[in-house]
Protein backbone atom coordinates (compact mmCIF):
# COMPACT_ATOMS: atom_id res chain seq x y z
CA UNK A 1 0.00 0.00 0.00
CA UNK A 2 1.40 3.44 -0.84
CA UNK A 3 2.25 5.14 2.45
CA UNK A 4 3.34 8.68 3.37
CA UNK A 5 6.70 8.61 1.52
CA UNK A 6 5.10 7.26 -1.66
CA UNK A 7 2.30 9.82 -1.50
CA UNK A 8 4.73 12.66 -0.78
CA UNK A 9 6.94 11.48 -3.66
CA UNK A 10 3.90 11.65 -5.93
CA UNK A 11 3.04 15.15 -4.68
CA UNK A 12 6.58 16.43 -5.20
CA UNK A 13 6.59 15.01 -8.72
CA UNK A 14 3.39 16.84 -9.62
CA UNK A 15 4.25 20.23 -8.10
CA UNK A 16 6.47 21.48 -10.96
CA UNK A 17 3.83 20.66 -13.58
CA UNK A 18 0.28 21.22 -12.34
CA UNK A 19 -0.29 24.15 -9.91
CA UNK A 20 -1.35 27.27 -11.75
CA UNK A 21 -2.87 25.25 -14.60
CA UNK A 22 -6.56 25.33 -15.42
CA UNK A 23 -8.41 22.03 -15.57
CA UNK A 24 -9.95 21.61 -19.02
CA UNK A 25 -11.81 18.33 -18.47
CA UNK A 26 -12.15 15.30 -16.21
CA UNK A 27 -12.83 11.85 -17.67
CA UNK A 28 -14.15 9.20 -15.28
CA UNK A 29 -14.06 5.80 -16.95
CA UNK A 30 -14.99 3.78 -13.91
CA UNK A 31 -16.40 5.50 -10.80
CA UNK A 32 -16.44 2.27 -8.77
CA UNK A 33 -13.58 2.95 -6.38
CA UNK A 34 -13.70 2.37 -2.61
CA UNK A 35 -16.31 5.11 -2.55
CA UNK A 36 -17.94 6.05 -5.87
CA UNK A 37 -16.40 9.02 -7.66
CA UNK A 38 -19.01 11.81 -7.30
CA UNK A 39 -21.11 12.28 -10.44
CA UNK A 40 -20.68 16.04 -10.10
CA UNK A 41 -16.87 15.94 -10.00
CA UNK A 42 -16.21 16.69 -13.71
CA UNK A 43 -18.71 19.56 -13.84
CA UNK A 44 -17.60 21.12 -10.55
CA UNK A 45 -13.88 21.07 -11.35
CA UNK A 46 -13.73 21.80 -15.09
CA UNK A 47 -12.58 25.36 -15.72
CA UNK A 48 -11.06 25.78 -12.25
CA UNK A 49 -7.40 26.57 -11.65
CA UNK A 50 -5.32 24.29 -9.46
CA UNK A 51 -3.99 26.52 -6.69
CA UNK A 52 -1.83 23.90 -4.98
CA UNK A 53 -1.33 20.28 -3.94
CA UNK A 54 -1.03 19.43 -0.25
CA UNK A 55 -0.84 16.15 1.65
CA UNK A 56 -2.49 15.02 4.85
CA UNK A 57 -1.21 11.63 5.92
CA UNK A 58 -1.75 9.37 2.90
CA UNK A 59 -4.27 11.70 1.26
CA UNK A 60 -3.45 14.14 -1.54
CA UNK A 61 -5.40 17.40 -1.44
CA UNK A 62 -5.84 19.26 -4.73
CA UNK A 63 -7.05 22.83 -4.13
CA UNK A 64 -9.21 23.95 -7.06
CA UNK A 65 -10.22 27.51 -6.18
CA UNK A 66 -11.70 26.59 -2.81
CA UNK A 67 -12.97 23.12 -3.73
CA UNK A 68 -10.62 20.42 -2.50
CA UNK A 69 -10.31 17.16 -4.35
CA UNK A 70 -9.19 14.35 -2.04
CA UNK A 71 -7.26 11.50 -3.67
CA UNK A 72 -6.28 8.31 -1.89
CA UNK A 73 -4.23 5.69 -3.71
CA UNK A 74 -5.68 2.70 -1.86
CA UNK A 75 -3.83 -0.61 -2.01
CA UNK A 76 -2.44 -0.43 -5.53
CA UNK A 77 -3.11 3.01 -6.97
CA UNK A 78 -0.78 5.50 -8.60
CA UNK A 79 -1.05 8.97 -10.09
CA UNK A 80 1.22 9.67 -13.03
CA UNK A 81 1.61 12.12 -15.85
CA UNK A 82 0.62 10.45 -19.13
CA UNK A 83 1.44 11.58 -22.64
CA UNK A 84 -1.50 13.46 -24.20
CA UNK A 85 -2.01 10.78 -26.85
CA UNK A 86 -1.33 7.77 -24.61
CA UNK A 87 -4.36 5.44 -24.67
CA UNK A 88 -5.72 4.40 -21.26
CA UNK A 89 -5.00 0.92 -19.98
CA UNK A 90 -7.51 -1.42 -18.37
CA UNK A 91 -7.13 0.00 -14.86
CA UNK A 92 -6.80 3.69 -15.75
CA UNK A 93 -10.01 4.96 -14.18
CA UNK A 94 -9.74 8.78 -14.12
CA UNK A 95 -7.97 11.40 -16.28
CA UNK A 96 -7.54 15.09 -15.49
CA UNK A 97 -6.61 17.12 -18.58
CA UNK A 98 -5.20 20.60 -18.12
CA UNK A 99 -5.14 23.59 -20.45
CA UNK A 100 -1.55 22.93 -21.56
CA UNK A 101 -2.35 19.36 -22.61
CA UNK A 102 -0.93 17.73 -19.49
CA UNK A 103 -2.81 14.58 -18.51
CA UNK A 104 -2.84 13.32 -14.93
CA UNK A 105 -3.99 9.70 -14.79
CA UNK A 106 -5.18 7.53 -11.89
CA UNK A 107 -4.41 3.84 -12.19
CA UNK A 108 -5.92 1.59 -9.53
CA UNK A 109 -6.07 -2.16 -10.34
CA UNK A 110 -7.81 -3.07 -7.08
CA UNK A 111 -10.11 -0.03 -7.12
CA UNK A 112 -9.55 0.56 -3.41
CA UNK A 113 -8.56 4.19 -3.78
CA UNK A 114 -10.78 7.26 -3.64
CA UNK A 115 -11.47 10.51 -5.49
CA UNK A 116 -13.77 12.77 -3.46
CA UNK A 117 -14.70 16.45 -3.10
CA UNK A 118 -14.99 18.69 -0.05
CA UNK A 119 -15.10 22.40 0.75
CA UNK A 120 -13.70 21.88 4.26
CA UNK A 121 -10.90 19.28 4.31
CA UNK A 122 -10.15 19.75 8.02
CA UNK A 123 -13.66 18.53 8.88
CA UNK A 124 -13.95 15.79 6.27
CA UNK A 125 -14.61 12.40 7.96
CA UNK A 126 -11.50 10.87 6.37
CA UNK A 127 -9.21 13.61 7.69
CA UNK A 128 -10.72 15.01 10.90
CA UNK A 129 -9.47 12.20 13.17
CA UNK A 130 -5.88 12.08 11.92
CA UNK A 131 -2.95 12.59 14.26
CA UNK A 132 -0.04 14.98 13.64
CA UNK A 133 2.31 14.77 10.69
CA UNK A 134 5.50 12.93 11.71
CA UNK A 135 7.69 15.50 9.94
CA UNK A 136 5.84 18.45 11.47
CA UNK A 137 6.51 20.37 14.71
CA UNK A 138 3.60 18.81 16.63
CA UNK A 139 5.22 15.37 16.60
CA UNK A 140 8.09 15.26 19.08
CA UNK A 141 9.42 13.23 22.01
CA UNK A 142 7.07 14.83 24.55
CA UNK A 143 4.00 14.18 22.39
CA UNK A 144 4.97 10.55 21.73
CA UNK A 145 5.76 9.91 25.39
CA UNK A 146 2.37 11.31 26.41
CA UNK A 147 0.59 9.03 23.92
CA UNK A 148 2.55 6.00 25.19
CA UNK A 149 1.68 6.47 28.87
CA UNK A 150 -0.60 3.77 30.19
CA UNK A 151 -0.92 2.05 26.80
CA UNK A 152 -0.56 -1.74 26.80
CA UNK A 153 -0.56 -1.93 23.00
CA UNK A 154 2.78 -2.69 21.39
CA UNK A 155 4.84 0.26 20.30
CA UNK A 156 4.81 -0.83 16.65
CA UNK A 157 1.02 -0.95 16.59
CA UNK A 158 0.84 2.42 18.35
CA UNK A 159 3.04 4.28 15.85
CA UNK A 160 1.06 2.72 12.99
CA UNK A 161 -2.18 4.14 14.43
CA UNK A 162 -3.11 7.11 12.24
CA UNK A 163 -4.91 8.79 15.13
CA UNK A 164 -1.56 8.90 16.99
CA UNK A 165 0.69 9.86 14.06
CA UNK A 166 -0.01 9.63 10.35
CA UNK A 167 1.92 7.83 7.66
CA UNK A 168 4.10 5.38 9.59
CA UNK A 169 3.32 2.26 7.57
CA UNK A 170 4.59 -1.24 8.17
CA UNK A 171 7.97 -0.92 6.47
CA UNK A 172 8.70 2.44 8.07
CA UNK A 173 7.59 1.32 11.54
CA UNK A 174 9.99 -1.64 11.48
CA UNK A 175 12.83 0.52 10.22
CA UNK A 176 12.20 3.30 12.74
CA UNK A 177 12.17 0.86 15.63
CA UNK A 178 15.44 -0.64 14.42
CA UNK A 179 17.12 2.77 14.33
CA UNK A 180 15.73 3.59 17.78
CA UNK A 181 16.93 0.27 19.25
CA UNK A 182 13.43 -0.76 20.39
CA UNK A 183 11.79 -4.13 19.81
CA UNK A 184 8.44 -3.95 18.00
CA UNK A 185 6.59 -6.03 20.62
CA UNK A 186 7.55 -3.73 23.53
CA UNK A 187 4.51 -2.36 25.35
CA UNK A 188 4.16 1.35 24.65
CA UNK A 189 3.82 2.16 28.38
CA UNK A 190 7.33 0.83 29.00
CA UNK A 191 9.03 3.44 26.84
CA UNK A 192 10.93 6.11 28.74
CA UNK A 193 11.25 9.72 27.71
CA UNK A 194 14.70 9.15 26.15
CA UNK A 195 13.40 6.10 24.27
CA UNK A 196 10.54 8.16 22.88
CA UNK A 197 13.03 10.84 21.85
CA UNK A 198 15.07 8.24 19.96
CA UNK A 199 11.97 6.84 18.31
CA UNK A 200 10.52 10.20 17.27
CA UNK A 201 13.89 11.14 15.74
CA UNK A 202 14.15 7.75 14.01
CA UNK A 203 10.67 8.08 12.49
CA UNK A 204 11.58 11.46 11.04
CA UNK A 205 14.93 10.16 9.77
CA UNK A 206 13.47 7.05 8.14
CA UNK A 207 10.58 8.87 6.46
CA UNK A 208 12.89 11.60 5.16
CA UNK A 209 15.24 8.95 3.73
CA UNK A 210 12.32 7.12 2.13
CA UNK A 211 11.06 10.32 0.49
CA UNK A 212 14.57 11.02 -0.81
CA UNK A 213 14.67 7.48 -2.25
CA UNK A 214 11.30 7.89 -3.95
CA UNK A 215 9.41 5.65 -1.54
CA UNK A 216 9.24 1.87 -1.71
CA UNK A 217 8.06 -0.20 -4.66
CA UNK A 218 5.03 -2.09 -3.38
CA UNK A 219 2.88 -4.02 -5.83
CA UNK A 220 1.79 -1.51 -8.47
CA UNK A 221 3.09 1.69 -6.90
CA UNK A 222 5.15 4.02 -9.07
CA UNK A 223 5.88 7.73 -8.73
CA UNK A 224 4.24 10.34 -10.94
CA UNK A 225 7.12 9.91 -13.40
CA UNK A 226 6.39 6.19 -13.67
CA UNK A 227 9.60 5.27 -11.82
CA UNK A 228 9.60 2.83 -8.87
CA UNK A 229 10.82 3.72 -5.40
CA UNK A 230 14.10 2.38 -4.10
CA UNK A 231 13.88 2.62 -0.30
CA UNK A 232 13.49 -1.16 0.09
CA UNK A 233 17.02 -1.59 -1.25
CA UNK A 234 18.43 0.09 1.88
CA UNK A 235 16.30 -1.35 4.69
CA UNK A 236 18.08 -2.47 7.85
CA UNK A 237 15.40 -4.81 9.20
CA UNK A 238 12.27 -5.00 7.04
CA UNK A 239 12.17 -8.01 4.72
CA UNK A 240 15.53 -9.34 5.95
CA UNK A 241 14.42 -12.41 7.95
CA UNK A 242 17.41 -14.67 8.75
CA UNK A 243 19.82 -12.33 6.98
CA UNK A 244 22.66 -10.86 9.07
CA UNK A 245 22.00 -7.52 10.71
CA UNK A 246 23.88 -4.83 8.81
CA UNK A 247 25.11 -3.45 12.15
CA UNK A 248 26.08 -6.47 14.26
CA UNK A 249 25.67 -9.58 12.08
CA UNK A 250 22.96 -11.22 14.22
CA UNK A 251 20.24 -12.86 12.08
CA UNK A 252 17.15 -10.68 11.69
CA UNK A 253 13.99 -12.19 13.19
CA UNK A 254 10.42 -12.00 11.92
CA UNK A 255 7.25 -12.00 14.03
CA UNK A 256 3.61 -11.31 13.18
CA UNK A 257 1.74 -8.47 14.87
CA UNK A 258 -1.83 -7.66 14.00
CA UNK A 259 -1.52 -9.81 10.86
CA UNK A 260 1.48 -7.76 9.71
CA UNK A 261 5.08 -8.94 9.59
CA UNK A 262 7.57 -7.22 11.88
CA UNK A 263 11.34 -7.55 11.58
CA UNK A 264 13.96 -6.79 14.23
CA UNK A 265 17.48 -7.52 15.39
CA UNK A 266 17.45 -9.29 18.78
CA UNK A 267 20.88 -7.84 19.61
CA UNK A 268 20.49 -4.21 18.48
CA UNK A 269 16.88 -3.83 19.65
CA UNK A 270 16.17 -4.31 23.36
* 2: annotated active-site residue: yes
The pLDDT score that the predictor gives to residue 84 is: 86
Question: In whole angstroms, what is the distance from residue 15 CA to residue 62 CA?
Answer: 11
Q: What single DSSP character describes residue 241?
A: B
Question: In whole angstroms, what is the distance from residue 158 CA to residue 154 CA?
Answer: 6
The pLDDT score that the predictor gives to residue 222 is: 41
Question: In whole angstroms, what is the distance from residue 226 CA to residue 196 CA?
Answer: 37
- Classify the C-alpha dihedral 55-14-207-237 as positive or negative: positive
* 260: annotated active-site residue: yes
The catalytic residue among 55, 58, 105, 147 is: 58
Q: Which helix (H) or strand (E) holds 50?
A: strand 50-56
Q: At what angle do helices 141-148 and 193-212 cross, to 10 degrees?
A: 120
β-bridge partners, 52: 63
The pLDDT score that the predictor gives to residue 38 is: 98
Question: In whole angstroms, what is the distance from residue 166 CA to residue 236 CA?
Answer: 22
Q: At what angle do helices 170-180 and 193-212 cross, to 10 degrees?
A: 130
Task: Answer for the pair 71, 126: CB distance below 8 angstroms, yes or no.
Answer: no
Break the chain into its structural domains and give their ranges: 4-123, 141-264
Burial class (CB in 10 A: 0-12, 13-18, 19+), 149: exposed
* 119: three-class secondary structure by DSSP: coil
Q: Which helix (H) or strand (E) holds 27?
A: strand 23-28
In this structure, whether the domain defined by 141-264 belongs to CATH 1.10.8.50 is answered with yes
pLDDT in tens, the chain (270 residues): 678 988 999 999 999 999 999 999 999 999 999 999 999 999 999 999 999 999 999 999 999 999 999 999 998 899 999 998 999 999 999 999 999 999 999 999 999 999 999 999 999 999 999 999 999 999 999 999 999 999 999 999 999 999 999 999 999 999 999 999 999 999 999 999 999 999 999 999 999 998 988 755 444 434 444 454 444 557 899 999 999 999 999 999 999 998 999 999 999 999
The pLDDT score that the predictor gives to residue 220 is: 41
Task: Answer for the pair 217, 230: CB distance below 8 angstroms, yes or no.
Answer: yes
The catalytic residue among 2, 109, 134, 184 is: 2
The pLDDT score that the predictor gives to residue 224 is: 46
Question: In whole angstroms, what is the distance from residue 55 CA to residue 65 CA?
Answer: 17
Cβ contacts of 85 within 8 Å, gap of 6 or more:
none
* 3: annotated active-site residue: yes
Backbone phi, psi, residue 63, to 5°: -90, 105
The catalytic residue among 48, 205, 246, 260 is: 260
Query: Class assignment of domain 4-123?
Result: alpha beta
Amino acid sequence: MPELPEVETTRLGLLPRLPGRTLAAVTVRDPRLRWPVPDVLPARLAGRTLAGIARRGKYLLFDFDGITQIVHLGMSGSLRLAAPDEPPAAHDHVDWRFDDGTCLRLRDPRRFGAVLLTEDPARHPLLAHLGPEPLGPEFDAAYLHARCRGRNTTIKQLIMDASVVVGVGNIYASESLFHAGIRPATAARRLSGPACARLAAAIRKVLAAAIAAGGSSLRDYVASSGEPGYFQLQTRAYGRENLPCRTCGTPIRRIVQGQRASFYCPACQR
